[in-house]
């Protein structure tokens, strides 16, 4: 499933194809994926200039000059494919839901076999209060995700810190892998009550969440050479993990006695696997 860094990578690819360009033609091949696709969508997109593209949580928002915004979510299996004007010709696949022809002749296709994605159109002024975004918490890479704000939110939460940082209402886009890794780097036991973090620990955690996501974005970006298929299974699978999926193995620079501790532990929290080092995370 694409996580925040993968979506950021897809976004940077789309920017290259769409920024300051007009959508000449649009075709919708689908009535319903996760949402009902608006009937007038293709018409509303055609002959409209793209005035901005950004990411919010795992959604991509494309603002048009007619004060409408396209909302895209890759779901479990979505990819954005591009067909260069002088390259391979587009042949519709049954999993294709959207086709766009841009002003410069390049084409963009949204393909989602498992149909958990979103393809919607909203008035630009209603995007932030829409059902997609109204409940979402802080953007982890923005300045609003600060130690002060996070501590204020966590001060009343008894839930385990691992589950708190994966709660989209608190902070968006910290997936299971990144949560385990950030807590390891911060030396925080994932089972700790969220409110119990000290100022120092919260500072480390905010810093490490940001740096791990940035590193993952950088990795996703650097492995993305072929923009004909924006997205796909790159990104975090190529990252080196400290604890994630390393049950029973030593953690990096391990000083713990692995014979005694059994190495990295795996537990289940909120139906998700958590990996941590018992001696380094307190």
128 versus 257: smaller Cβ distance to Zn ion: 257
From the list 115-123, 156-164, 178-186, 269-277, the region that binds Zn ion by CB under 5 A is: 269-277
Question: According to CB under 5 A, which residues from 241 to 260 bind Zn ion?
Answer: 251, 254, 256
Q: 153 or 251: whose CB is closer to Zn ion?
A: 251
Tell me the torsion sign for CA atoms 202, 207, 211, 214.
Answer: positive
Residue 259 Cα to chain centre, angstroms: 38
Catalytic residue among 48, 58, 111, 234: 58
Check if the beta carbon of residue 56 is closer than 8 Å to that of residue 91.
no
CB of 241 to Zn ion, least distance (A): 13
Query: In angstroms, what is the minimal distance from the CB of 142 to Zn ion?
Result: 32
* Minimum CB distance to Zn ion smaller for 179 or for 277: 277
Active site residue 272: yes
Please tell me whether residue 247 adopts helix, strand or coil conformation: coil
Whether the CB-CB separation of 71 and 122 falls below 8 Å is answered with yes
Query: Catalytic residue among 3, 6, 107, 201, which?
Result: 3
What is the sign, positive or negative, of the torsion defined by CA atoms of 46, 134, 161, 77? negative
> Catalytic annotation on 113?
no
Nearer to Zn ion, 221 or 250 (CB): 250
Q: Where are the beta strands (DSSP E) in 162-220?
A: none
> In the annotation, is 58 catalytic?
yes
Beta strands per DSSP E along 151-234: 229-230
- Minimum separation from the CB atom of position 263 to Zn ion (A): 7
Range 131-138 contact pairs with CB under 8 angstroms and sequence separation of 24 or more: 132/59, 132/71, 132/73, 133/56, 133/57, 133/59, 135/168, 135/169, 136/56, 136/57, 136/168, 136/169, 136/172, 137/167, 137/168, 137/169, 137/170, 137/171, 137/172, 138/170, 138/171, 138/172
| Binder among 10, 109, 122, 277 for Zn ion (CB under 5 A) | 277
**Which lies closer to Zn ion via its Cβ, residue 256 or residue 267?**
256
Query: d(Cα 187, Cα 171) in Å, to the nearest integer?
Result: 20
CB of 177 to Zn ion, least distance (A): 18
Provide the mask over 196-235, with x wherever binding to Zn ion is found by CB under 5 A and - wherever it is not. Answer: ----------------------------------------
Smallest separation, CB 201 to Zn ion (Å): 18
Contact window for Zn ion (CB under 5 A) among 90-98, 115-123, 129-137, 272-280: 272-280
Task: List interacting residues with Zn ion (CB under 5 A).
Answer: 251, 254, 256, 277, 280
Active site (catalytic) residues: 2-3, 58, 272
């Amino acid at each position: 499933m694409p996580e925040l860094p993968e979506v950021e990578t897809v976004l940077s690819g789309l920017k290259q194809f769409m920024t300051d360009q007009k959508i000449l033609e649009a075709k919708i091949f689908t009535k319903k994926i996760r949402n009902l696709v608006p009937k007038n969508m293709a018409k509303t997109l055609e002959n409209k200039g793209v005035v901005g593209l950004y990411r919010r949580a795992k959604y991509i928002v494309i603002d048009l000059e007619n004060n409408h915004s396209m909302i895209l979510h890759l779901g479990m299996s979505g990819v954005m494919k591009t067909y260069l004007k002088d390259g391979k010709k587009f042949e519709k696949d049954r999993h294709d839901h959207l086709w766009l022809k841009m002003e410069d002749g390049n084409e963009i296709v949204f393909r989602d076999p498992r149909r958990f994605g979103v393809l919607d159109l909203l008035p630009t002024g209603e995007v932030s209060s829409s059902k997609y975004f109204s409940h979402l918490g802080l953007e982890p890479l923005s300045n609003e995700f600060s130690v002060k704000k996070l501590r204020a939110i966590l001060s009343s939460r008894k839930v385990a810190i691992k589950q708190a940082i994966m709660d989209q209402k608190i902070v968006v886009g910290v997936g299971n892998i990144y949560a385990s890794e950030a807590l390891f780097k911060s030396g925080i036991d994932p089972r700790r009550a969220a409110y119990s973090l000290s100022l120092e620990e919260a500072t480390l955690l905010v810093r490490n969440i940001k740096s791990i996501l940035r590193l993952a974005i950088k990795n996703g970006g650097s492995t993305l050479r072929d923009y004909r298929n924006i997205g796909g299974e790159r990104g975090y699978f190529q990252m080196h993990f400290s604890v994630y999926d390393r049950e029973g193995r030593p953690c990096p620079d391990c000083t713990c006695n692995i014979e005694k501790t059994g190495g990295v532990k795996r537990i289940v929290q909120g139906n998700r696997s958590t990996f941590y080092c018992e001696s380094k995370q307190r």
